[in-house]
Amino acid sequence: MEGGPAAANARESPAQGAVPRVGLAATMQPATSGRKSRPISTFVPSRVGEVWQQVIVVNEHQVNPRVECIHCAHQFSGGVSRIKLHITEQCLSNTATFLGVKEKVKAIAEADKAKKRQKTE
């Protein structure tokens, strides 16, 4: 009769090992599908200020809209930092108005960099 309980134990242990695996897969599935359906309406980036005045939003998107530079009509997708980069380094316009704007945006970019530096220190 010694073989009886030992055989039962051997049958039980693989089943126990499988339980956490199934549990993990079950908890991971809602996390990935929840990511897609997650409402992002609560996060609305503020599109105001000197930087946003240099572009027209041509394709609305919650985080990175497609924008068009009012100075050179170049289109690109991105937030405020991309616009700053375009105005200060990539824009081909060289009108007096643009050069004034460029200096302003440069100053804003520098101020933002200084703020970030202060936060990390």
- d(CA 59, CA 38) in angstroms, rounded, equals 21
Q: Which of 55, 71, 80, 105 is close enough to bind Zn ion by CB under 5 A? A: 71
**x/- site string to Zn ion, residues 89 to 108, per CB under 5 A?**
--x-----------------
Q: In sequence order, which ranges of 1-95 are alpha helices (DSSP H)?
A: 3-37, 80-85
State both tokens at 113. Answer: 């960099």
Nearer to Zn ion, 72 or 85 (CB): 72
Q: Which stretch binds Zn ion (CB under 5 A): 6-14, 20-28, 33-41, 84-92?
A: 84-92
- d(CA 73, CA 62) in angstroms, rounded, equals 22
Q: Answer whether 54's CB lies under 8 Å from 101's CB.
A: yes
Q: Which stretch binds Zn ion (CB under 5 A): 35-43, 45-53, 70-78, 107-115?
A: 70-78
**x/- site string to Zn ion, residues 19 to 58, per CB under 5 A?**
----------------------------------------
Contact call for residue 83 and Zn ion (CB under 5 A): no
Contact call for residue 69 and Zn ion (CB under 5 A): yes
Instruction: Indicate left, alpha or beta for 78 from its phi (over 0: left) and psi (-120 to 50: alpha).
Output: left
State both tokens at 80. Answer: 């405020």
Contact call for residue 72 and Zn ion (CB under 5 A): yes
Place of tokens 């027209």: 56
Chain positions contacting Zn ion, by CB under 5 A: 69, 71-72, 74, 91
